[in-house]
Amino acid sequence: MRFALSEDQALLQRSTREFFATEFPMEQNRRVMEHEPAGFERAGWGHIAEMGYLGLTVPSARGGQGLGAVELAVVLEEAGRHCVPGPLLDGMLAATLLASGTGHDALLADVLAGRRLVTIARDEALYAGGRAAPTAFERGRVRGTKYFVPFAASADALAVATADQIVVATGPFAATALPTFDLSQRFAQVTLDGPATALGPAALLGRVDLLAAVGAGAMLLGLMSRMLEATIAYTQTRQAFGKPIAIFQALQHRMAEMLARTESTRAAVYRAAWCVDHDDAEAPLACAAAKAWAADAARLVCGEAIQMHGGIGFTWELDVHFYFKRAKTLEQHYGSTATQLERALAAAGY
């Protein structure tokens, strides 16, 4: 029995941490988030593809790395820690979905190489009242409206969920940008009315959902870890009443609580990932719990980071707000907390 990462996994963690630190320094991420309309740069995306991250959980027979959810978590924890903007998780999930369906080999190869971007279009729940007609696939055409499609404006194709199957629609799409306060992500409302090809049954999303929960949970874990480190460092530098403020018990106890949330999230996320990789019967419950918990924990930890930084914590200048905002996006997507709670209850038979 061993909770620590294997040698290979630890190596992946080190190389990923180094890669993001070198290729995605925060000043650059900040520039991309603030000024790049797409929300990411093609050059950086190419580097991500070269590292093989996009095909991490794609079987090697289909051109991927053939690794599992634990490795996915390792990479995304680091992406969260470095606040890497762009469709990394979305691209990984779409590649996994494409590889689990039939046909689309050329598209999958292009996705893994970073030449084309595919994301998953799923959500039909309207963000402001009402509900759209369900997306339908008939006689080779897909029709419908999808909301909050990740990076739709940059996507070359979308994997579109209908009630019973997944189809692939090729762009360009009529996409209306849905700007939110989180600049690390880009969303759009997409109206589909064009040719599409069948990928497979909707049940293919089952595995994608588990990986999405683990992946988003791991990213949240990375955000939290970084915010805890930043808070510990800042409170030891900042002086008040002639002392570093880290000396005050009121702050120490809150930082202890931040650690408790971060470490319990780590246990939950990596155990969930391990359960997915071993087809463990506990996987659905473990994944739902990990994602729901990680979301609450990250909101608390990132919020406490703002509070303990004081006035500077509320400025645009400090990086903390990017983390705080991203935590909220990750909470509401990849299976919102309400969705994860229902999944957990269903998995437990309650």
Partner 1 sequence: MDLHLSPAHLAFRDELRAWLRANLRRPWRDELRDPAHGEDSLMELRRAWQRKLHEAGYLGMDWPREWGGRGATAVEKAIFEAEMAHADAPQILNTLGIGLLGPALIHHGSEEQRRRFVPPMLAGDEIWCQGFSEPGAGSDLASIKTSAVLDGDSFVLNGQKVWTTFGPWADWIFVLARTDPKDRYGGISFLLCKLDTPGVTVRPLRQMTGESEFGEVFFEDARVPREQLVGHVGEGWRIAMTVLAYERGAVGLAMANRYGRDLAELAAACRELGRTDTASREKLGRLLVENEVLRAAGVRMLATLAEGRAPGAESSLEKITWSEFDKRFRETALDLLGPGGQLLRHAPGARSEVDWAREYLWSRAGTIYSGSSEIQRNIIAKRVLGLPQDGR
Question: Does 292 help bind partner 1 (rule: CB under 8 A)?
Answer: yes
Region from 32-40, 43-51, 78-86, 265-273 binding partner 1, contact rule CB under 8 A: 265-273
Rounded least distance, CB 129 to partner 1, Å: 19
* Contact letters for partner 1, residues 213-252 (x by CB under 8 A): -------------------x--xx------xx-xxxx--x
Tokens at residue 209, please? 């959902």
Rule CB under 8 A: say whether 11 interacts with partner 1. Answer: no
Spatial distance between the Cα atoms of 256 and 165, rounded to a whole number of angstroms? 47
Does residue 9 touch partner 1 according to CB under 8 A? yes
Q: How far is the CB of 336 from partner 1 (least distance, A)?
A: 12
Applying CB under 8 A, among 11, 21, 281, 345 the residue interacting with partner 1 is 345
Among 267, 281, 312, 314, binds partner 1 (CB under 8 A): 267
Pairing of strands 118-121, 157-161: parallel
Pick the closest to residue 56 from 217, 236, 277, 249 (CA basis).
Answer: 277
What angle in degrees, to the nearest 10, is found between the helix axes of 283-309 and 320-332? 150
Q: How many angstroms separate the CA atoms of 258 and 297, rounded?
A: 8
Lookup: tokens for 331: 């909470």
Is 291:334 a contact under the CB 8 Å cutoff? yes
Provide CB contacts within 8 A for 337, sequence distance 6+: 291, 292, 295, 296, 331
Residue from 65, 135, 265, 329 touching partner 1 (CB under 8 A): that is 265
Distances (CA, A) of 132 to 55, 84, 141, 150, 171: 33, 33, 18, 18, 21
CB 289 to partner 1: min, Å: 4
| Closest distance of CB 2 from partner 1, Å | 5
What's the sign of the alpha-carbon dihedral 186, 88, 96, 168?
Answer: positive
Nearer to partner 1, 119 or 235 (CB): 235
Residues of this chain, 20-79, that bind partner 1 according to CB under 8 A: 70
Chain residues in the site for partner 1 (CB under 8 A): 1-6, 9, 70, 232, 235-236, 243-244, 246-249, 252-253, 255-257, 259-260, 263-268, 270-272, 274-275, 278, 285-286, 288-290, 292-293, 338, 340-342, 344-345, 348, 350
